[in-house]
Amino acid sequence: MKKPELLAPAGDFEKLRTAIHYGADAVYLGGSQFSLRGKAGNFNETELREAVAYARSRGARPFVTVNIFPHNRDLTALEGHIELLAEVVPDGVIVSDPGVFTLVRSRAPHLKLHISTQANITNVAAARFWEDAGASRLILSRELGIDEIREIRAATSLELEVFVHGSICISYSGRCYISSFLASRSANTGECTNSCRWTYSLMEEKRPGQYLPVFEDARGTYLMSSKDLCMIEHLPLLADAGVDSFKIEGRMKGINYVAGVVKTYREAIDALEGKMSYNVKARWARELSMFSSRGYTTGMFFGRQPDADFNSDGEGYRMSHELVGVVMGLREGKATVQMRNRLDVGDSVQYLSPGLEDRSFAVDALWDEAGEEIVSARNEQTVYMRAPEGVRSSDLVRRAKSCREGELLMEHEKPTAERIPAEE
Ligand code: SF4
């Protein structure tokens, strides 16, 4: 069994660097105009060139999304964008629309084309269609079960990619106008506001302002809010079904999420080693439970899920760990940290570094860039602090937030802070 690729979201340059640092084999990113996830930050022409070059220089494969459904008015600009991609030559261009597919094939035949999940490939005939048309990879519909994936695997030699982690639509993978109707931002052009997850009430036309109670449970009703996908327990099954690439959703999410999820799936994929099953480490579940989610589901992979297992209760799980800063360098036992939050001497932090995951460290001193000792660091400041052995440049510094009882999927261990011995 070939080790599947770990494919991570790169909503901006920092997320791209973070994903690669924590072990992504490949990253997907969008140009500023033609990518679903119009609000993800995205890359202008210069940044796109730099991003592709950066990923390559680190041994990762860059894929570029051009997966909107363009209108006629978009086509001239789109052709210019294809010329840019023809020059930059990412390892794959992700498209949904047959027109975009045809344009890329004719203007840049040397580019590999990946068919987006938005194209909704759900059957063997569709897979063969795209193979005959010249695609390289199919990003299968999220609505498929593992048995159907096996059948498609048997019918095509194209690479197969599936989403294994992250948010999912309550509609048919992005084919939805809720956001367009309610917020004038269309999911089909990359601007979804996740309107399906808002809280809804019932109001009778003649009684404006009076909200009639509709109860799914004591907190209200969240009929359209799906749980988030998490397949960490079932990667061996997907690999055995012939999936070549495991994709993580989340170009809109922050580096804290990218780092923790990529690191966890990296470890899980490395543990596969051709096995049909593996022990899910408690640490993986702990790490994945640290991020805001609506609870986790295995989606459609095992057939239709009972509603209770698919619908979130809307409240979800809030992030239990917040980003404190990013390690920019290390020297003589001290880390240079670019702050992303306030930090005080005496606070307890954790490093997302191999071997240090479950340990906390008390901050016993802080120095500013001039070398002056300070008692508190603010967001965006660069500071020096003592760091334990094992911390690497580009690692994240985090800290636990206080959270509600029962908020996490799994009870966190609450390590007591260790004090790093002061320098002699
Ligand atoms: S509103 Fe919800 S279901 Fe519709 S595209 Fe956005 S996330 Fe998907």
**Domain harbouring 241, CATH code:** 3.20.20.70
pLDDT digits (tens, 9 = 90+) for 374-399: 999 999 999 999 999 999 999 999 99
What is the pLDDT averaged over residues 354-363? Answer: 92
Give pLDDT, residue 421: 43
Please check the confidence at residue 331 and state whether its pLDDT lies above 50.
Answer: yes
What is the pLDDT averaged over residues 20-33? Answer: 92
pTM of the model: 0.88
* Ligand 1 contacts CB of residue 118 (under 6 A): no
Instruction: Using alpha carbons, select from 295, 265, 308 the residue that is nearest to residue 410.
Output: 295
Q: Ligand 1 centroid vs 231 CA: distance in angstroms?
A: 21
Please check the confidence at residue 202 and state whether its pLDDT lies above 50.
Answer: yes
Three-class secondary structure assignment of the chain: CCCCEEEEECCCHHHHHHHHHCCCCEEEEEECCCCCCCCCCCECHHHHHHHHHHHHHCCCEEEEEECCCCCHHHHHHHHHHHHHHHHHCCCEEEECCHHHHHHHHHHCCCCCEEECHHHCCCCHHHHHHHHHHCCCEEECCCCCCHHHHHHHHHHCCCEEEEEEEECCCCCCCCCCCHHHHHHCCCHHHCCCCCHHHCCCCEECCCCCCCEECCCCECCECCCCCECEEECHHHHHHHHHCCCCEEEECCCCCCHHHHHHHHHHHHHHHHCCCCCCCCCCCHHHHHHHCCCCECCEECCCCCCCCCHHHHECCCCCECCCEEEEEEEEEEECCEEEEEECCCEECCCEEEECCCCCCCCEEECCCEECCCCCEECEECCCCEEEEECCCCCCCCCEEEEECCCCCCCCCCCCCCCCEEECCCCC
Alpha carbon distances (Å) from 192 to 179, 249, 366 = 6, 14, 42
* Ligand 1 contacts CB of residue 196 (under 6 A): yes
Q: In the chain, what percentage of residues exceed pLDDT 70? A: 87
pLDDT digits (tens, 9 = 90+) for 84-98: 999 999 999 999 999
Q: How many domains does the chain have?
A: 2
Please check the confidence at residue 102 and state whether its pLDDT lies above 60.
Answer: yes
Q: Ligand 1 centroid vs 75 CA: distance in angstroms?
A: 25
Give the atom of ligand 1 at the shortest distance from the alpha carbon of 176: 4
Of 196 and 55, the one with more pLDDT:
55
Same structural domain for residues 353 and 266?
no
Q: Ligand 1 centroid vs 239 CA: distance in angstroms?
A: 28
Instruction: Using alpha carbons, select from 73, 62, 129, 60 the residue that is nearest to residue 101.
Output: 129
Same structural domain for residues 275 and 414?
no
What is the pLDDT averaged over residues 188-212? Answer: 80
Please check the confidence at residue 409 and state whether its pLDDT lies above 50.
Answer: no
What is the pLDDT averaged over residues 68-83? Answer: 92
- What is the band of 170 on the pLDDT scale with cuts at 50, 70, 90? confident
Of 74 and 40, the one with more pLDDT:
74
Same structural domain for residues 295 and 370?
no
Give pLDDT, residue 350: 94
Is 369 part of a structural domain of the chain?
yes
* Ligand 1 contacts CB of residue 174 (under 6 A): yes
**Domain harbouring 349, CATH code:** 2.40.30.10
Same structural domain for residues 244 and 298?
yes
Please check the confidence at residue 104 and state whether its pLDDT lies above 80.
Answer: yes
Give pLDDT, residue 313: 61
Give pLDDT, residue 273: 81
Instruction: Using alpha carbons, select from 68, 262, 241, 250 the residue that is nearest to residue 144.
Output: 241
How are beta strands 245-248 and 296-297 bridged, if at all?
unpaired
Give pLDDT, residue 420: 47
Nearest CA to ligand 1 atom 3: 169
* Structural domain boundaries, residue 373: 321-419
Lowest mean pLDDT among 39-53, 72-86, 205-219: 205-219
Distance between CA 129 and CA 405 in Å, rounded? 51
Give the atom of ligand 1 at the shortest distance from the alpha carbon of 177: 4
pLDDT digits (tens, 9 = 90+) for 232-288: 999 999 999 999 999 999 888 899 999 999 999 999 999 998 777 888 898 998 899
Same structural domain for residues 20 and 146?
yes
* Ligand 1 contacts CB of residue 194 (under 6 A): yes
Please check the confidence at residue 406 and state whether its pLDDT lies above 90.
Answer: no
